[in-house]
Structure 1
Amino acid sequence: MTGHASDRERTFAALPPAQGRGFALTWWGRAWLRALEDAALDTAQVKAGRGLARAGAVGAVSVRPGRITAVVLDRDRTTHRADVLLGELSAEQWDRFLDMAVERAGHVAALLDREMPPHLVEDAASAGIELLPGLGDLEPECDCGAWDHCGHTAALCYQVARLLDQDPFVLLLMRGRAEDALLEALQARSAAPEPEVAAPQGVTAAEAYAAGEILPPLPAPPELPEEPGLPPSLDTEAPPGPGVDPVAVRHLAARTAVEARRLLAEALRPPSEHLAPVVELTTAQDAVRLAVAVPDQALAERLAVGSGRDPRALADATRAWELGGAEALSVLEEEWEPSGGTLARAHAALDSAWDEDERPSLRADGNRWTTVDAPAQVRLGRDGRWWPYRKERDRWTLAGPSALDPATALASARLSSAEPQR
């Protein structure tokens, strides 16, 4: 992006055609375009403007406080001067913005990096300052005589979205402050000495305790949503960058929403019901977690490779994960030898699970007990729970969730084994 700059005006050379790319790649650029598209009464004119901008029909763009201007070449080869007006911030609003920006060093650093993070805009809005335009804030003026946004003013807005992508100071200039003046004001505020504040006087512990009864109660905790939230949409005009798989990104976003809901559910549990701390997953285990409900076969195959499994083994692993997370996955793939107190407790559970005349004939192998007369098995997890397994096509498959006693788990395995196999 090249352009001539003065204290109160910047002029940017005409941009090349935008064939094959979107006009707004940043969130603030898209917010700018929403202010145009949501307010336009004639969507056909907006579409025509997008086509003109994409063809490179917008000339050099002049940006100054409250106004942007360019000459637009129409499809009939006539030229039109297009202007779009945006209200300037008042001096009092700029003072509040500068005070807010100085309080958080990250705001200034982001602007210097030519970025406009959402928290900067949110903090400004909390101070009563709307940086980005809203519905109806972009006022069109064109010598073609249109009273609403025409193709020429819409084309100018689309071209300015590309400028905003590269430099958010363009928006701040439209709102009334040039970059140099703004940075000088920020620097002056940062260097100003902090006013002396008298140290607060403390109170005795008895006074603090007595005041506790008059404090307002804590707000109620949030309600757990019935379903995980929907991730942001990836449907944009911009093509994905090199090496970016949109299917994989959508799936990662969906799984992140599921995990966020799980973490909220855990935080809302009463202290007596809190589960054991989650153990950090290995790369292979995390690949299984991500493979749950994977929407694309090619992505499933890549996750199978990443987890060190073939597709069939990955399907078994994802079923285990759905039924019991990392613990179920460990029971599926790890065979271990109970010893000492663990083995004694396992034998006691097996002995007490059935009456003498009802106890099935079981063959022990490590932490696995297999029935002699049926393709059913129970496995002991390291957490002391029992997991039901059935045999399908010479493979042991998890038949259901875990149980506290082996009899319940074995009944689940036998019931599943009796069902017709698909």
Structure 2
Amino acid sequence: MHDLRALRADPAGFDADLARRGLEPVSASILALDEERRAAQTALQEKQTRRNALSKEIGVIRRNKGDSAALEAEAVALRAEMEGLDARAQALDVETRDRLAVLPNRLDASVPAGADETANVVVHERGAVRNFAFTPKQHFELGEAMQQDGYAQMDFATGARLSGARFVMLRGGIARLERALGQFMLDLHVTEHGYSETHVPVLVNEPAMYGTDKLPKFADQSFVTTDGRWLVPTAEVPLTASVMGEIVDAAQLPIRLSALSLCFRSEAGASGRDVRGMLRQHQFEKVEMVSVTTPEESDAEHERMTRCAERVLELLEIPYRRLLLCAGDTGFGAAKTYDLEAWLPGQQAWREISSCSNTRDFQARRMNARYRPGEGAPVFVHTLNGSGLAVGRTLIAVMENWQEEDGSVTVPPALRPYMGGVERLG
């Protein structure tokens, strides 16, 4: 949510920020609504003042046994006018908030210009890309060739039969490898990176989705139940919304939370994209990192969070690169985003495996999440979120980077303690 006072103070700057995202100016229309709302409120206050004065006059006349009928009629008329003005002011307030609610966050000055992902900037690249002596396969080719009880260990046919497209059933060693990845990541973030382990609900209410900027903008990309609860698109929602409506003591900051959870996305608009394999699923697991901190520390926290995600890839010995997303590719709620892309030799392509974003106070304003700096008035916190990592996509990266010519997959040394010492799947 945007600060309306900041928009009033610098409408040209607000529109310039929207223009960086390729959006049309809106300040004039929003300020016109705001002006009309304030005019209605001013008129309401004036009529309330007049009605209070009438009440006193009527009281004096009645005590003196005089005729107050005309003044009483004016008071009745005023009451009807006040009800109309109050309703109008409230309706304008809702309309203004609705207009602001669908506008994306203002971008950090360091975000590069650009309309789409082709303008993203590579910050650095880490890890040696393996030079295969054979043509590497894609993960689904490897997974479908591995068998467990007569079925493919990466079984898309059964997933589709049970649930439809973009679902998979994992079996045997691959299922264990995915579980190992999630546990490994969560342990790393908790024991080495200082995040608090959290187990979250995967059904949340509308205020939690709205507060974390998923509604109303992304309603068509999420699943909703018949009783109005939403399946989380990411654990970012319950983790961040855990401070919704609170005033946090400054001594508690930064709050760092991590969770391994199921995530659900409708993938609206993704028809025909990544139809083979596990890259784009309706249901998947992800280890999420969330930080709640002060405005002064949020930039440093963003760098720290991104390094935590990078560390996972380094320990798994997967080549990756960090990208600073351009204006046109930065997500709705983010002021600044780093994406991590893993090298997938089967695809011969870099693919996103983590996204770490600083939303500044954008979500906090929607959630009314604040902290009290010393004896001063409450201030909005800054919230950050990042994938640490997407488990299914990391499974893909492990399988493709650690594959052998015979179709087996070597288990990275960092994962072997989580695999009961198993060194190879095949």
TM-score, reference length from structure 2: 0.17
Please tell me whether Structure 1 or Structure 2 has the larger radius of gyration of its CA atoms.
1
Higher relative contact order (Cα pairs below 8 Å, separated by 6+ residues): 2
TM-score, reference length from structure 1: 0.17
Specify which structure has the higher proportion of strand: 2
